[in-house]
A = this chain, B = another copy of it.
């Protein structure tokens, strides 16, 4: 399966695409960082992010999208922009008809390093090793997005499938 991971941010939004199967090594397809100018109007910034993510989804045709879940405990100054960017990222997947799963930072860290408390350096090291890259992804913002994509591949999109089944059940099997 091919997964597009998004580490949402309004100023820097990491995007990583990997391909793989649960329990097997993943292969890097591509990674990007979408930048928007903090001095620009919010509407222009969200529009740029929306179009960039839409383009990357069209280009890479992933089977699923994984987005980091945003918490209000994050940096209060930037959390609203991050939440808005995450909404745009989830929407980009949904609009393409793809299943979208959100993961907490701890879930991603645990999947990739074995510890939910891993630091940024450890995450980058593991992503570099797991994808057998000659050097760490640059800029570093892309590493978290790649980790999200790896996390989703290894979990086999389980949560998304469970959520879909639950939803079908609630709707009496009409979907």
Task: Tell yes or no: A87 within 8 A of B by CB.
Answer: yes
In angstroms, Cα B94 to Cα A88, docked, is 13
Question: Does B90 contact A46, Cβ atoms closer than 8 Å?
Answer: yes
- Counted per complex, copies of this chain come to 2
A58-88 vs B, Cβ < 8 Å mask (1 yes, 0 no): 0000000000001110001001100111111
Question: Does A39 contact B170, Cβ atoms closer than 8 Å?
Answer: yes
Tell me the A36-67 residues at the B interface (CB within 8 Å).
39-44, 46-47, 50
Question: Does B39 contact A94, Cβ atoms closer than 8 Å?
Answer: no
A54 to chain B, nearest CB (A): 10
A129 to chain B, nearest CB (A): 31
Listed in ascending order, the chain A residues whose CB lies under 8 Å from chain B are 39-44, 46-47, 50, 70-72, 76, 79-80, 83-88, 90-91, 93-95, 99-100, 102, 163-164, 167, 170
A-B contacts, 27 listed (Cβ < 8 Å): A39-B167, A40-B167, A41-B100, A41-B163, A41-B164, A42-B102, A43-B94, A43-B99, A44-B94, A44-B167, A46-B87, A46-B90, A46-B91, A46-B94, A71-B80, A72-B76, A72-B79, A79-B83, A83-B83, A83-B87, A84-B84, A84-B87, A84-B90, A85-B87, A87-B87, A87-B88, A88-B91
